[in-house]
């Protein structure tokens, strides 16, 4: 026990003074490295890179489409859409059978515009109909979502050109497998203005 105390006191005092002196001599050299190491740790542990990544990317997949009228349709009395020409595109929804197929359930904003025009008026009033429909897997018949009707040439025939624009848009909740259509009646397809930017049909997820 005495050996232990003696060795402890003697060795402890001697080594303690030496260690203190050595630490004092090395301290000016160690502090800059410690400070630099602390700065590196602060940068690595900060939330800035993670925050920038969150702001720069939306975790949800892109779901949107914008279709334009096909100027050269295969069927003359049907408004045919296209997804791979000019400004048209589709992401996350499937374009097939001249309609948009919902692949993920949720709330969507759907919109459509058609422009009608002709070089003159004929004898009778012309009624221009423009509809959006939904076909669901759970229900075998189409459901009307939006409908608009306009009319022109109320005062008989004349040689003045006329124009009519019909725009519709609203929010709906769709299920996976729902199919969305935008149509005009067969008897007014010949009046459509299919110039890019005038007649279109689109959707995007909310």
Domain range summary for the chain, segments of one domain joined by + = 64-114+130-150+165-205
Q: Distance (Å, rounded) from C-alpha 95 to C-alpha 169?
A: 19
Tell me which architecture the domain covering 64-114+130-150+165-205 has in CATH.
Sandwich (2.60)
Mean pLDDT check: name the lowest of 36-50, 52-66, 75-89, 188-202.
36-50
Q: Which pair of tokens denotes residue 154?
A: 């109320």
Q: Distance (Å, rounded) from C-alpha 90 to C-alpha 100?
A: 9
64-123 pLDDT, tens digit per residue, is 999 999 998 777 789 999 999 999 999 999 999 999 999 999 999 999 999 999 999 988
Q: Does residue 201 contact residue 182 with C-beta atoms inside 8 Å?
A: yes
- H or E segment and range at residue 27: helix 2-45
Q: What is the pTM of this model?
A: 0.69
Q: Does residue 119 contact residue 158 with C-beta atoms inside 8 Å?
A: no
Closest by CA position to 181, among listed 98, 105, 107? 98
């Amino acid at each position: 026990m005495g050996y232990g105390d003696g060795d402890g006191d003697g060795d402890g005092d001697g080594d303690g003074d030496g260690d203190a002196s050595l630490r004092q001599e090395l301290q000016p050299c160690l502090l800059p490295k410690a400070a630099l190491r602390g700065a590196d740790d602060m940068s690595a542990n900060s939330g800035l890179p993670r925050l920038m990544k969150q702001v720069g990317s939306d975790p949800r997949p892109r779901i949107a489409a914008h279709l334009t009228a096909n100027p050269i349709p295969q069927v003359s009395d049907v408004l045919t859409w296209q997804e791979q020409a000019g400004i048209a595109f589709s992401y996350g929804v499937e374009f097939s059978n001249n309609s948009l197929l919902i692949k993920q359930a949720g709330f969507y904003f759907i919109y459509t515009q058609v422009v009608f025009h002709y070089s003159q008026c004929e004898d009778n009033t012309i009624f221009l109909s423009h509809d959006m429909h939904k076909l669901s897997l759970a229900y075998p018949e189409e459901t009307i979502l939006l409908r608009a009707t306009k009319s022109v040439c109320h005062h008989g025939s004349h040689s003045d050109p006329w124009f009519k624009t019909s725009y519709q848009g609203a929010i709906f909740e769709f299920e996976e497998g729902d199919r969305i259509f935008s149509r005009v009646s067969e008897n007014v397809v010949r009046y459509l203005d299919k110039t890019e930017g005038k007649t279109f049909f689109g959707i995007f997820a909310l």
